[in-house]
Amino acid sequence: MNNTATEKIDSKKRMSDLLFILWAGGAALLSYSLVYALRKPYTASTYAGLDIFGFDYKTIVTITQIIGYLIAKFVGIKLISELKKESRFKFILTSVTAAQLSLVAYGLIPAPYNIAAMFFNGLSLGCMWGVIFSFIEGRRVTDILASLLGISIVVASGTAKSIGLFVTNTLHISDFWMPAFIGAFALPILALLAYLLNKLPHPDEHDKQTKTERVTLDKSARKELFLEFMPVLTMLFIANLLLIVLRDIKEDFLVNIFDTSMYSDWIFAQLDSVVTLIILGIFGLMVFVKNNLKALISLLVLVMIGTVVMTVVSFGHNRIELSPLTWLFVQSLCLYTSYLTFQTIFFDRFIACFKIKGNVGFFIALIDFIGYTGTVAVLLVKEFYTPNIDWLVFYNNLAGYVGIVCCVSFAFSIVYIAQRHKKENNIPSFEPAYSLE
């Protein structure tokens, strides 16, 4: 075959990959952004002056929704691990319809009894991330696709709050009906996007050779996999527990932490859009790291840097004297970079590096279940022992300690992964497990 013919084939392949990325990545990004529209708009409300049996109403709403979400995550450890390709679309349609009906009930039922509706909202949406991710994992371009899916969390978090503020402040829809109003627009679009994801072609042989074929995991396989990598998974799960707790508090109580009165309703969307672009650029570069071990080490070094910066900014808040927007930007960038690393790229590369027979959904469902359990515990302790806290001080102290623990955990994880890879590949002890060349 001459050079011209080869160039034409390569050109067609690049174009095919680009179109696939636009199709799969765009559908995944928009899908999970709309899941946020069904789950998070209520966080734009403070419910000032409203309580339930002496407890802060918003805290109880948040705990109730997370408990439903937590139960779904626990079920998802089995469900997502075993979910077959042909069942994904039906599962998504059922989940989002149930979520919207629960929001309608939240508006219909008088407070505080409407809190129960938020339990079913969380229960309906708890497995959505893992199911959407299952459409894009195990492909040679998964790094890019996962990055696009991951940034939906960042951009959708701020956008959901901004839209919620706009609907209540400008359209004058009540705090209780605002989530259902937004969900009514999100639901049909989300159903269409789920259909587009369901039509994606399955991973080809090149994908399977590059990233290892993904298979379902039964109970015994899940147990065997965890025990096989228990030391590093334990360290990573502890770190992710703390990251998820911190992220949930930031997302759900940001309007309590950050004074929005001096800024536009769209300030969260604008700031998170900048954070999103930066994270997308960082994660996008990982597609050029072909070696899976190098990718894992690079990602762990990246999140270590992020957690160190987060600790310095948090504990040094009064001394450094950053402006509120700069502080929020740095916190968001460091936190979301660390959190999204494990929600997107890391475990896909982990499976490929150690040629594990399994799927990413198992890891994500497990770390999310552990993490949301921590969130409920922290909020309950806060509500029972320190109900009238200064949210900014509370967040900075929590972020500082989370950063320290995570940095140590990631450092030990690097050592374990490098040594484990060296051992499995019979690399002599005097040779490095990987090099930067």
Helices 292-315 and 324-343, packing angle to 10 deg: 150
Question: Beta strand pairing status for 51-52 and 55-56?
Answer: antiparallel
Q: Please tell me the predicted confidence (pLDDT) of residue 61.
A: 92
22 has pLDDT over 70:
yes
The top-scoring range by mean pLDDT among 86-95, 264-273, 359-368 is 86-95
Model pLDDT for residues 307-365, shown as the tens digit of each residue: 999 999 999 988 888 888 888 899 999 998 998 899 888 998 999 899 888 888 888 88
Band (pLDDT 50/70/90 cuts) for residue 431 is very low
N-terminal to C-terminal alpha carbon distance within the chain? 32
Using 50, 70 and 90 to split pLDDT, how confident is the model at 47?
confident
- Residues 228 and 234: their CA atoms lie apart, in Å, by 11
pLDDT band, very low/low/confident/very high, at 11 (cuts 50, 70, 90):
low
Q: Total domain count for the chain?
A: 1
With respect to residue 374, please indicate whether it lies within any of the assigned structural domains: yes
- DSSP 8-state class, residue 431: S
> Is 3 domain-assigned?
no
Of 248, 204, 435, 229, the residue nearest 346 (C-alpha): 229
> Does some domain include residue 228?
yes
Q: What pLDDT is stored for residue 185 in this prediction?
A: 95
Q: Within a domain: residue 4?
A: no
Average pLDDT, the chain: 86
Residue 9 lies in a domain: no
Q: Indicate the helix (H) or strand (E) that contains 4.
A: helix 3-20
Check residue 429 and give its pLDDT: 47
**Total residues belonging to the chain:** 437
As a whole number of Å, the CA-based R_g of the chain is 22
Per the model's pLDDT, the better-predicted residue between 171 and 280 turns out to be 171
Q: By residue range, what is the domain housing residue 136?
A: 20-424
CATH classification of the domain holding 289: 1.20.1250.20
Higher pLDDT, 156 or 246: 246
- The yes-or-no verdict on residue 157 having pLDDT over 60 is yes
Q: With pLDDT > 70 as the criterion, what percentage of the chain qualifies?
A: 92
Domain annotation covers residue 290: yes
Task: State residue 104's pLDDT score.
Answer: 97
pTM: 0.74
Among 26-35, 78-87, 260-269, the range with the most confident prediction by mean pLDDT is 26-35
Determine, yes or no, domain membership for 10: no
- Is 239 within a domain? yes
237-247 pLDDT, tens digit each: 999 999 988 98
d(CA 437, CA 434): 9
